[in-house]
Amino acid sequence: MSLTGFYAAFFGALFVMLSVRVVWLRTRFRISLGSGGNPVLERARRIHANFAEYVPFTVLLIFFFEGATQLRGWTHIFCIVLLVGRLLHAYGLTRESPFFRTAGMALTLAVIVAASIGLLVFHAHFMAT
């Protein structure tokens, strides 16, 4: 069974929560398109959009890494770090905290880099043999 699939369920739930927040704010402020210049709605939209931009690709990389290497410990680490990174990023944007926002992006990018390197090393090793 796929560990990545297990964690993907958490990312799916988080994505729905972020989506509902945007919908709720749109209803509250009566803004159907864009942000209408409302900074609270704009931040919520960017948190949601940033999640949508980074998480699917990163989860796909982790899934390929898990399937190729069968390194379940590293798969757990990648998924947990990604989850923490996404939560920190959302918190940082919501609270206008550059520290948490930057830390969240750094963790997200670290997972992308580490999973990519892991896949490259694994495939380079088996291509050479």
CATH number of 3-128: 1.20.120.550
pLDDT of residue 128: 76
pLDDT of residue 125: 83
pLDDT of residue 64: 97
With cut-offs at 50, 70 and 90, classify the pLDDT of residue 127.
Answer: confident
pLDDT of residue 123: 87
The full set of domain ranges for the chain reads 3-128
pTM of the complete model beyond 0.95? no
With cut-offs at 50, 70 and 90, classify the pLDDT of residue 126.
Answer: confident
Distance set, CA 88 to CA 36, 43, 70, 81, 100 (Å): 26, 14, 28, 10, 5
* Digit-coded pLDDT (tens) for 2-55: 999 999 999 999 999 999 999 999 999 999 998 899 999 999 999 999 999 999
pLDDT at 1 over 90: no
Residue at 72: amino acid letter: R
Q: Are 102 and 92 in contact (CB under 8 A)?
A: yes
* Digit-coded pLDDT (tens) for 53-106: 999 999 999 999 999 999 999 999 999 999 999 999 999 999 989 999 999 999
Structure token pair of residue 21: 């927040």
Structure token pair of residue 107: 């963790």
What is the DSSP annotation of 4-60?
Answer: HHHHHHHHHHHHHHHHHHHHHHHHHHT--SS-TT-HHHHHHHHHHHHHHHHHHHHHH
* Digit-coded pLDDT (tens) for 49-59: 999 999 999 99
